Amino acid sequence: MLYFDDTMLLMIPALLLGMYAQWKVSSAMQQGSQIRSNRGMTGLAVARALLDYHGLNHVRIEETGSGDHYDPMSKTVRLSPNVYQSTSLTALGVAAHEVGHAVQHSTSYAPLQLRSGFFPLARLGSMAYVPILLIGMLMASPMLINTAILLLSVTVLFQVITLPVEYNASARAMQMLRQHGYIGSSEERGVKNVLDAAALTYVAAAVSAIMSLLRIILISRRGRRR
């Protein structure tokens, strides 16, 4: 990012972790997708049953091509076709994870509320900090450089806050699937592997954001010494 110098070395661990996380999640989901659950329930059926159990009958479930997620604005769990229609361990884990977010929302889970509050600023920061930083460096403007650092700091904070939200949703997913008998003891490992691998991608994103912030701070300090 920006240009190559020795501060780029900070990004190497983040890059390697990101590559490992992507391989891990791809591998775990591929393996899990090949194992059909003993109950033979689809991701849709499991999600609906879990939502209804928690009194979230008003939360809709939709099939989507834009990735599995829970939309708190429309109170909708959106599942990809491979999750919505599948009876695999991957489908059950992902579906239950998204229901976990819906339960977090309904119970006003504090980290989720905090993340939601930071989201607009984090989105602005991720889009704006690079051009502001470049202009600040070209103009040798400490004010613009500090503004860019502040914007990236908000993005980093958002990534860090995301970690407990995602790990909690996965923990809820495992608990719900076990409690209601949707997976047996022999299936728990496969589902947990999928959820743990997916969570690792958020860890990698947080590490990458932190390293980017440290790099920019180092670059700005060097610029001020010249």
Q: Is residue 192 part of a domain?
A: yes
- pTM surpassing 0.85? yes
Helices (H), the chain: 11-33, 43-53, 81-84, 89-106, 110-138, 142-179, 185-225
- In a 3-state reduction of DSSP, which class is residue 79? strand
Q: Which residues touch 55 (CB under 8 Å, ≥6 apart)?
A: 106
Of 98, 166, 187, 188, the catalytic one is 98
Give dist(CA 191, CA 174) in Å, integer.
Answer: 8
Amino acid at 38: N
Which 3 state secondary structure label does DSSP give 181?
coil
Amino acid (1-letter code) at residue 107? T
Range of the domain at 166: 6-225
In single-letter form, the type of residue at position 183 comes to I
Strand order in the sheet with 69-71: 60-63, 76-79, 69-71
DSSP per-residue letters across 23-78: HHHHHHHHHHHTSB-TT---HHHHHHHHHHHTT-TT-EEEE-SS-SEEETTTTEEE
Count CB-CB contacts under 10 A for residue 45: 18
* pLDDT given for residue 1 in this prediction: 46
Q: Are strands 69-71 and 76-79 parallel, antiparallel or unpaired?
A: antiparallel
Sign of CA dihedral 107, 117, 126, 5: negative
Total domain count, the chain: 1
Q: From first to last of its 226 residues, what are the pLDDT tens digits of the chain?
A: 445 567 778 789 889 999 999 999 999 999 999 999 999 999 999 999 999 999 999 999 999 998 999 999 999 999 999 999 999 999 999 999 999 999 999 999 999 999 999 899 999 988 999 999 889 888 888 899 999 999 999 999 999 999 999 999 999 999 999 999 999 999 999 999 999 999 999 999 999 999 989 988 888 776 655 5
Question: What pLDDT is attached to residue 223?
Answer: 60
- Indicate whether 73 belongs to any domain: yes
Q: Is residue 1 one of the residues assigned to a domain?
A: no
- As given in the structure block, the two tokens for residue 105 are 């929302």
98 in catalytic set = yes
